[in-house]
Structure 1
Amino acid sequence: MMMQISNCLVLALACSGFLLTLVTADEEEISMTLDEVVDLIEPFGDGCTPKPLREHIVEMVLNKEDAKKESKCFRHCMLEQFELMPEGQLQFNEDKTIEMMNMMFPDREEDGRRIVKKCNELLKAEQDKCEAAHGISICMLREMRSSGFKIPDVKE
């Protein structure tokens, strides 16, 4: 059961941009390689249009700012699947995103809310769902790091 929750959290955090080490209740780190994360995420691409290639999933997991359009659209597709960016919306659902962040950073809800609001606001004029999903994710990652959230870099 814990592994299912962890896997789900890894997937959601990967698609929203804040990933790669999970901290369990006893503060042990569970590390995953890039290939392991990509393997875990790959099946979620089956329902996406366009269906992502492995290179697009890798780009998303590595949070490449200059990612290909297909990588940005895959991020949007996953965010939609996890209801972090509901269908037809061009911004993150603040409550769902905070709920997800609280699993990993339980004592940072106020900071998390500020960051989600700031990044949603920053990209509010973006009309392309893929660009919005990518831009908000990259913004959140940058803001979380500058606010002292411990987010490891993903190694290629």
Structure 2
Amino acid sequence: MRQSNRMTTTLKMTNLLLALACVAMLMGSTMADEEEISMSVDEVVDLIEPFGEGCTPKPLKVHIVEMVLNKEDAMHDTKCFRHCMLEQFELMPAGEMQYNEDKTVEMINMMFPDREDDGRRIVRTCNEQMKAEQDKCEAAHKIAMCMLREMRSSGFKIPEIME
């Protein structure tokens, strides 16, 4: 039993690291004169697709592509997939309509060191702007889109992802 719990924890950590690596790749690096990482949308979709296995509704490839491309006018199932991923990694805990500020800032810090104050301000701003939203899928998507806009306007180096 103890070994089973350890294996489950290891698997969850491996999945978390994979997801964070995908997010980091998608958001870009902050290193000066960085070497550009090149992955196609299909390659990123293939990395993220396994995270949809336990989601309801189970996302189709089109939904994953929309999420990877950060489509503002995404389908509802795309928004639900975003929520499912956020819930899996406790960035938007079950039953909550806002991002967990500390965990989200921690993730931002992994990709953008020395920007904790900006990250915290952005998470708070976007959580606050969307606090009236009652649909968990809509809340997850709208907060993500708000954070993307705020991060870009605050000088975070986040490349556009092209199809």
User: TM-score, length-normalised on structure 1?
Assistant: 0.88
> 1-side partners of 2:90 and 2:15: how far apart?
18
| Candidates 80, 83, 90, aligned match of 1:76 | 83
Q: Deviations over 1:69-116 (max 9, x none)?
A: 000000000000011000110000000001000011011000000000
Where has structure 1 moved over 4 Å in runs of 4 or more? 3-6
In structure 2, the residue matched to 1:9 is 20
| Matched-pair contact (CA < 8 Å) for 1:10–1:20 | no
Q: SS of the residue aligned with 1:19?
A: helix
Q: Determine the structure 2 residue equivalent to 1:121.
A: 128
CA RMSD of aligned residues (A): 2.4
Give the aligned length: 150
Any idea what SS the aligned residue of 2:104 has? helix
Task: Confirm or deny that 1:49 pairs with 2:52.
Answer: no
CA contact (8 A) 1:91 1:120 kept: yes
Match of 2:99 in 1: 92
Which structure 2 residue ranges, 5 or more long, are not aligned? Answer: 1-13
Q: Distance in 1 between matches of 2:63 and 2:106?
A: 27
Q: Is the 8 A contact 1:10 1:22 kept in 2?
A: no
1:30-49 correspondence to structure 2 within 5 Å: 30-49=37-56
CA contact (8 A) 2:45 2:65 kept: yes
Aligned to 1:135: 142
Deviation track 1:108-141 (CA, whole Å, cap 9, x = no partner) reads 0000000000000000000100000000000000
The percentage of aligned residue pairs carrying the same residue is 72
**Structure-1 separation of matches of 2:96 and 2:81:** 15
Amino acid at match of 1:53: L
Select the structure of larger CA radius of gyration.
2
CA separation in 2, counterparts of 1:122 and 1:23? Answer: 27
Letter of the structure 2 residue corresponding to residue 69 of structure 1: H
DSSP 3-state at the match of 1:152: coil
* Kept in 2: contact 1:56–1:74 (CA 8 A): yes
Whether the 8 Å contact between 1:23 and 1:29 is mirrored in structure 2 is no
**Is it true that 1:150 corresponds to 2:161 in the alignment?**
no
Letter of the 1:145 counterpart:
R
Structure 1 residue aligned with 2:114, among 59, 82, 107?
A: 107
How far 1:32 sits from its partner (Å)? Answer: 2.0
Q: Is the deviation greater in 28-37 or in 128-137? A: 28-37
- TM-score, length-normalised on structure 2? 0.84
Cα distance between partner residues in 2 of 1:95 and 1:57: 26
